[in-house]
């Protein structure tokens, strides 16, 4: 088990320092591998880096309406019980349990600020400009800010499926997004350019050779990759292959919707070539 001091050293050995601006993702089990758990992880990150951000997502605020636009990877009118259990977003709403204890500790940190997206908010320290860049139409704008200002992705004992920066790459590459609806104190709001499935993101590993730095410290795996390089690699790959990073599950609604949109885009090109 890593102590606070050893974890700080591991972060430094991974290339992070007092100038680093980081978006961190942690596995559910990572607090069990560090003495002091989630509080130690957040404390070490904030002591080592200039600025730290984590997802503070609250997907339980979403509802499914009875009707909506087609090809939106939703079965409208379904999950009425879930709609009744949906929560109204407010800044103090705890993060989804799937994100783990570390993200919740970051959200509750006395120095942390939180962006205002009712589904895909981020919590961060010393990243006010990045957090303020987020809108209902551009949920991953804070990732773009990190890419512009030399930020890094830090994966703590987790894999690329947790890496939401790849959703920003999808958006930049022109991949279609989705519309979702969330409960707020002002009523139901429409959230555009929402991401699809991340189950295919593990394939990005083949494109990150020489870009990422990964090592294991006391049973805890750390991987650091510059946000700009990650996004550029993913955008380039999607431009080469519009189906890149999609999952291979036959009944995944969001990946199926993306494939359908790709086929529609390919059809006019094929017609021109045949003509």
pLDDT tens across 96-145, in order?
999 999 999 999 999 999 999 999 999 999 999 999 999 999 999 999 99
- Pair 106, 37: CB distance under 8 Å: no
Task: Enter the pTM of the model.
Answer: 0.94
- Pair 23, 154: CB distance under 8 Å: yes
Checking if the pLDDT of 266 tops 90, the result is no
Q: What distance in Å separates the CA atoms of residue 244 and residue 238, rounded to the nearest whole number? A: 5
Going from the C-alpha of 6 to that of each of 216, 219, 220, the distances in angstroms are 12, 12, 11
Checking if the pLDDT of 171 tops 70, the result is yes
Nearest to 24 by CA among 93, 109, 89, 119: 109
Rg over alpha carbons for the chain, rounded to the nearest Å, is 19
Confidence of residue 62 (pLDDT cuts 50, 70, 90): very high
Going from the C-alpha of 125 to that of each of 47, 131, 149, the distances in angstroms are 11, 10, 15
Checking if the pLDDT of 275 tops 60, the result is no
Confidence of residue 165 (pLDDT cuts 50, 70, 90): very high
**Dihedral over Cα of 73, 77, 79, 84: its sign:** positive
- Pair 16, 125: CB distance under 8 Å: no
């Amino acid at each position: 088990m890593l102590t606070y001091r050893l974890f700080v050293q591991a972060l430094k050995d991974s290339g992070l320092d007092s100038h680093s601006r980081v978006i961190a993702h942690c596995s559910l089990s990572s607090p069990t591998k560090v003495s002091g758990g989630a509080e130690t992880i957040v404390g070490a990150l904030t002591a080592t880096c200039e600025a730290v951000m984590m997802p503070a997502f609250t997907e339980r605020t979403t509802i499914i309406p009875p009707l909506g636009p087609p090809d939106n990877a939703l079965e409208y009118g379904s999950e009425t019980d879930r709609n009744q259990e949906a929560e109204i977003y407010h800044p103090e709403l705890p993060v989804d349990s799937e994100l783990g204890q570390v993200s919740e500790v970051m959200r509750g940190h006395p120095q942390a600020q939180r962006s205002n997206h009712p589904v895909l908010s981020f919590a961060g320290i010393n990243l006010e400009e990045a957090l303020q860049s987020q809108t209902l139409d551009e949920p991953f704008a804070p990732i773009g800010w990190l890419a512009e200002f030399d930020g890094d992705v830090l994966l703590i004992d987790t894999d690329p499926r947790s890496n939401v920066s790849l959703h920003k790459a999808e958006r930049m590459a022109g991949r279609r997004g989705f519309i979702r609806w969330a409960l707020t104190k002002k009523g139901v709001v429409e959230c555009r350019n929402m991401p699809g499935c991340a189950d295919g993101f593990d394939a990005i590993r083949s494109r990150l050779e020489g870009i990422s730095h990964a090592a294991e410290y006391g049973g805890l795996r750390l991987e650091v990759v510059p946000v700009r390089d990650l996004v550029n690699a993913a955008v380039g790959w999607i431009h080469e292959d519009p189906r890149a990073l999609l999952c291979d599950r036959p009944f995944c609604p969001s990946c199926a919707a993306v494939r359908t949109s790709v086929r529609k885009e390919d059809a006019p090109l094929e017609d021109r070539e045949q003509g």
